[in-house]
Amino acid sequence: MEGTAPVSSTRQKTTPGRGAGSSRSRKALVPPVAWIFRTNIPLRRGMPLPKNAQRRNFFGIGEVLSVLANPGETLKSLTEARKSLEDARREIKETKERSQLRTTHTFAPLPGFFARPAEVQAVERALSGTPSFTVLIGASSVGKTALLREVLSRDAYHVLHFDLRIAGFADLGSLYGSLSRQMETYFETLSENVEGYEDFVKEAWGFKHDRLGMEKLVEAHGPNIVKTSDIARLMELFQSSLLRYWQFDPKVPDSTETSGEVKGDDAPERAPGPSSKPIPSSPEKAGSSNKSEGDRPKKKIPVFFIDEAHKLPALIHSTETMKCLLDAMLVLTKQDRLCHVIHATSDGFYQSWLRKLNIMQHCKLISIGDCSREEMKVFFRERLLPSIPETMRNGLDFDTIYEAFGGKLVHWTDYATDYVNAGGDLPVKRSSHFIQAYTLLHLHLVNSVDSDFATVEEKPKPKRRGSSRKPSKHGFQIYSPLTAETMVNYDETRSVSDAGSSEGSNAPSFTTSQLLDIMRRLVVPLPSVNGHERAGRNRHEYIPYFPLCRELGVHAVDDMVRARILELRWMDTVTPEWEVDDANNIHITPASEDTHSDGGHAAAAASSSSPPAWHTHLQVQDSVLGSESGRPTNGVDAGPKLVPLTPIVRFAMREVLKEYEMECDYFFVDREVADTARGRAAGGKTSGSVKGDDVSDYASAASLSDVYEY
Ligand SMILES: Nc1ncnc2c1ncn2[C@@H]1O[C@H](COP(=O)(O)OP(=O)(O)O)[C@@H](O)[C@H]1O
Ligand SMILES: [Mg+2]
C-alpha cells in the first residue's frame, strides 16, 4: 500500500526526539501512537489538504472516533457544510444570471414610436452642443420619456438612467447605493461592449469597492452613517472616471502608432483635471476624437438622465444633499464638460425650485407639447385606423376625435382600444378620459362653492396680488405626492412668485367663480357657421400667467395648476399647437375646407408641399401670441402661459360650462349678476344649502358612475 513508506519515514523522524529524552518526554511519547489516528482528510470541505498528506495511515479512524465521541458537534458541522454548499450554489447561479443581464438594452426605444421630428431635433440639438444641463418640461403623458428613449438609445449615447417613478431610494444610503450601482454598470458595460475599453472594468471596480466599504459601515453603524460627503465623494469618483474616459485613447489593432497603453492624443501632455479635455461637441466629433478615425470605436456621449425629476426633493430630504448632487451635475456639464444632464418633469414649478437653488440659470429649457393637427392626421391614417377592425372604422371621425383629444397620442390610442372593446359604439363623452376630466372639474366647482357664496354676499373687490382669499374649508383637496417634510423644502417653492403656499393647507384657494371664469376664458364658444357650431378645430386659448396672478392672487392661480386643471407653460412648445397658414396667421376654417370625408372618417394627409408646422414655429410665435382673443402682440404675453392641462380637459370645460350656462345664463349676463346667479345655481345643487357638510356629501356622491350617466 502507498501508506507504508511514509509511515515508516515518519516513525524514523520522530524517533530521535524521543531518544533525546528531553523534558517534553511525556508529550513526545504521544506521536508514535497518535499517528495511527491521524488523517489527511480535511475537516471541512474546502480546507486545503495538509502538506504531509502522504503520511497516511489508518483510514481516518481519528475522525470516526471523534464522530462517535461527539455526535452533536458533527451533526452541526454537517448542517453548516450543507448550508455553505447551498450558498455557494446560489451564488454561482446568481453570478451566471447577472452575467446574462442585458444592461445596455434596458434603455430601449418605445416600440412603435410615432415620429416627432421637431422634438427629436430639439433634443438632438441640446445634446450636440457643449455639455448642458437640460430640463425637458411638458404635461404628463405628453411623450417626454418616449422621446428621450428614442433619441438616447442611439449608439451615440450612453445613458445613466434614473426613473424616479420607480426610484429605489428613500434615504441617503439607498441613494448612494443606487447611484453607485448605476455608475458601476455604466463602466462595466463600457468595458464589456466597446472594443479597446476593457481596462475600464477597473473604474467599475472602483465604484463597487467604495460601495462595499459603505455597506460594511452601514452594517456596523446603521444607515445614518451615510452622509452628504459620501455622495460628494461618489460624484467625484464619477467625475474622475469620466475624465479618464475622455482622455483615453484605445488601442488600435494593426496600428503603427499605438501601444497597448492608455495613450490619448493629448493625454500625456495635458495633465488630468477639469476641462483638460472637453467632451466633443457632437456625436460625430465624439467618434473622431481619436487619431485614426474609422478604426476605433466611437466614443459614446455619456448622458445622466433623471426622469420625473420633480420627485427628487421628495426622495432626498436633505436640502444640503440635494444641492450637492445638483452642483455636481453642474460641474459635470458646465465646468468640466464631461457629460450631458437631462431632467424630465411634468411639474411646472420644478424650475422655480431649481431657480431657488441657483441651478436654473445654467439650464436649457425644452418645452414639449402635443402633436400638431397635421401630425395627428398622419397618426390617424397610418397608425390608428389600421388597428381598428374594418367594420368599425366608419364610426371614427377624425375631427370629432381631434376636438376631444387634440394631439395627445396616448388619449387617441386609449380611446381606440375602448372603442373596439365597446364594439364600435363609444361616443367621446363616454370615454374614460372625458369622464375623468369632467368629474375633476365638477368636483372642484362644487367643493369650492361655500367660499364662493361668501364672496358673492360680501361683494369683494377684484383680487390683487398679495390679497389672500380664505381658502374653502371643504375644498376638493389637491393630492400631493410630497411628504410633509419635503413640503418644507419644495412645496413652498411651488409658486412662481415665491409667495409661499396657502397656509400649508391642501385645500385649493380658488373659488367657484374664479374657476368658472378661467374656464370661460379658455373655452371661447366657437362662432357658428350656417347655424352649426364649427367642428374639427380646437381653439387654443391661453391666459398669461402673471396678469392672472395680479388679478386673482398667486395662490388661486397656482392651486389651479396644482389641482391639475391648468398647465403652466414657461415657453412655447417645440411644436406649436396653434393652427397656422402660410401667412403666419391663425387659421380657423370649417372642417370641410381641408379634410376629405372618406366613408365617414377623415383621411386627409399632411400636405407634402406645405412645410411641417414646426418649420414655421419661430416666425409664427409673435403672430400667435394673443391674436386669437384680440390680445396685443406687443410682448405682453411673452411670459408664462396657462392652458388647460390636456385637450380633453378643455373639451370637458366646454361641456361643464354649457351646463352652467343652461342654469344661470352665464355667458350673457353682467358679471356680478352672473356671480349671484351662479352661486344660486351651485346652491341648488346642494339642495339649497351651502353648508360645507352638504357640499361634501354631494362631492362624495359624485362618483364616476353618476357622471357616466351624463
Ligand atoms: N411619439 C410617440 N409615439 C407613440 N406613442 C407615444 C409617443 N409619445 C407618447 N406616446 C404614448 O404616450 C404614453 C406616455 O408617454 P410618456 O413618454 O411616458 O409620457 P411622459 O413621459 O411625458 O409622461 C406612452 O406610453 C405612449 O403610449
Ligand atoms: Mg415620463
Predicted confidence (pLDDT) at residue 664 exceeds the cutoff of 50:
yes
Question: Which residue from 368, 408, 410, 645 has its CB within 8 A of the most atoms of ligand 1, so it is best to mutate?
Answer: 410
Mean pLDDT for the chain overall: 70
When pLDDT is averaged across residues 360-370 and rounded to a whole number, the result is 91
pLDDT in tens, 110-121: 998 999 999 999
Is residue 330 within 6 Å of ligand 1 at its C-beta?
A: no
Q: Are 307 and 163 in contact (CB under 8 A)?
A: yes
Where are the domains positioned within the chain? Answer: 4-69, 73-100, 105-367, 427-570+642-708
Pocket lining: 172 vs ligand 1, CB cutoff 6 Å: no
**d(C-alpha 201, C-alpha 188), whole Å:** 5
Average pLDDT over residues 624-644: 56
Task: Give the integer Cα–Cα distance in Å for 477 and 443.
Answer: 10
Taking 80 as the threshold, does the pLDDT of residue 439 lie above it?
yes
Instruction: Specify the pLDDT at position 196.
Output: 82
Grid coordinates belonging to 702: 359624485
Ligand 1, residue 146: give the atom nearest the CA.
17
27-53: per-residue pLDDT in tens? 555 555 555 555 566 666 666 666 666
CB distance 561 to 496 below 8 Å: no
Answer positive or negative: Cα dihedral of 331, 335, 341, 345.
positive
Tens digits of residue pLDDT in 504-534: 456 678 888 899 999 988 986 555 545 444 4
pLDDT in tens, 614-624: 333 323 333 33
Question: Which one-letter amino acid corresponds to residue 645?
Answer: L
pLDDT tens-digit series, residues 570-623: 888 888 865 543 444 433 323 333 333 333 333 333 333 333 333 333 233 333
- How sure is the predictor about 353, in pLDDT bands with cuts at 50, 70 and 90? confident
User: Strand 543-544 and strand 641-644: pairing?
Assistant: antiparallel
CA of 405 to the centre of ligand 1 (A): 14
Helices 25-34 and 4-20 pack at an angle, to 10 degrees, of: 170
* pLDDT exceeds 80 at position 337: yes
Dihedral, 260, 261, 262, 264 alpha carbons, nearest 10: -70
Residue 388, CB-side half-sphere exposure with 13 Å CA sphere: 28
pLDDT attached to residue 38: 59
At residue 641, the 3 state secondary structure works out as strand
pLDDT tens digits, residue range 288-306?
444 444 555 567 888 999 9
Top-confidence range, 65-69, 687-691, 704-708: 65-69
300 touches ligand 1 (CB under 6 Å)? no
For residue 382, report the distance from its CA to the centre of ligand 1, in Å: 17
What pLDDT score was predicted for residue 576? 81
Pairing mode, if any, of strands 528-529 and 532-533? antiparallel
| Confidence check: pLDDT of 237 > 80 | yes
Of ligand 1's listed atoms, the one at least distance from the Cα of 383 is 4
203 Cα to the center of ligand 2, angstroms: 30
8 Å CB contact between 406 and 649: no
Whether pLDDT at 700 is above 70: no
- Ligand 1 atom having least distance to the Cα of 368: 22
Residue labelled with grid coordinates 389600421: 386
One-letter-per-residue 3-state SS of 198-218: HHHHHHHHHHHHHHHHHHHHH
Say if residue 376's pLDDT is above 80. yes
Quote the ligand 2 centre to 58 CA distance (angstroms). 73
Whether residue 229 is predicted with pLDDT greater than 80 in this model: the reply is yes
What is the identity of the amino acid at 660? Y
Give the number of other CB atoms < 10 A from CB of residue 395: 16
* pLDDT tens figures, 326-335: 999 999 998 8
Residue 109, C-beta contacts closer than 8 angstroms, at least 6 positions apart: 149, 150, 153
If one residue of 121, 123, 141 were mutated to test the ligand 1 pocket, choosing by the most ligand atoms within 8 A of its CB, it would be: 141
From ligand 2's centre to the CA of 308, what distance in Å? 6
How far is ligand 2, taken at its centre, from the CA of residue 135, in Å? 13
Nearest-CA residue for ligand 1 atom 12 is: 410
Going through 555-625 in order, the beta strands assigned E by DSSP cover 566-569, 597-598, 601-602
Residue 175's H or E segment, with its range, is helix 172-193
Please give the pLDDT value at position 416.
95
pLDDT at 689 over 50: no
Task: Please give the C-alpha separations between residue 255 and each of 192, 296, 418, in angstroms, as whole numbers.
Answer: 22, 10, 61
Average pLDDT over residues 154-182: 82
For 258-278, the pLDDT digits (tens) are: 333 333 333 333 333 344 444
Pocket of ligand 1 contains residue 109 by CB under 6 Å = no
Percent above pLDDT 70 for the chain = 56
Q: Could you say which ligand is closest to the alpha carbon of residue 164?
A: 2
Ligand nearest to the CA of 161: 2
Q: How far apart are alpha carbons 434 and 552 in whole angstroms? A: 28
- 138 Cβ inside 6 Å of ligand 1: yes
Q: Is the CB of 301 under 6 A from ligand 1?
A: no
pLDDT at residue 555 greater than cutoff 70: yes
- The single-letter DSSP state of residue 331 is I
> What is the 151 CA–ligand 1 centroid distance (Å)?
13
Measured from the CA of 307, which atom of ligand 1 is nearest?
21
pLDDT at 690 > cutoff 70: no
Beta bridge partners of 343: 135, 306
Distance CA 627, CA 625 (A): 6
Residues 172-194: tens digit of each pLDDT = 888 888 889 889 988 888 888 87
Rounded Cα distance between 696 and 504, Å, is: 21
- Best residue among 110, 119, 307, 376 to mutate for probing ligand 1's pocket (most ligand atoms within 8 Å of CB) is 110
pLDDT level of residue 686 (50, 70, 90 thresholds): very low
- Answer whether residue 102 shows pLDDT above 80: no
- pLDDT of residue 665 exceeding 70, the answer is no
**237 closest CA partner among 161, 334, 328, 312:** 328
Per the CB < 8 A criterion, the answer to whether 420 and 388 are in contact is yes
Residue nearest to atom 1 of ligand 1 (CA): 114
The C-alpha cell of 460 is what?
369683494
Q: DSSP H helical segments within 256-339, as ranges?
A: 283-287, 312-315, 319-330
What confidence score (pLDDT) does residue 397 get?
92
Instruction: Look at residue 145 in the predicted model and tell me its pLDDT.
Output: 94
Range name among 485-494, 500-509, 561-570, 596-605 with the lowest pLDDT average: 596-605
Pairwise CA distance, residues 76 & 337, whole Å: 59
Q: How confident is the model at residue 430 (pLDDT cuts 50, 70, 90)?
A: very high
Torsion angle (degrees, nearest 10) of CA 293, 296, 298, 304: -140
The CB of 408 under 6 Å from ligand 1? The reply is: no
**Widest Cα–Cα separation across the chain:** 130
Cα atoms found within 13 Å of the Cα of residue 97, Cβ hemisphere only: 6
CATH number, span 105-367: 3.40.50.300
CA of 146 to the centre of ligand 1 (A): 5
Q: How do strand 597-598 and strand 566-569 relate by DSSP bridges?
A: unpaired
- The answer to whether 171 and 227 have CB atoms below 8 angstroms apart is no
Strand locations in 274-417 (E): 301-307, 340-345, 363-367
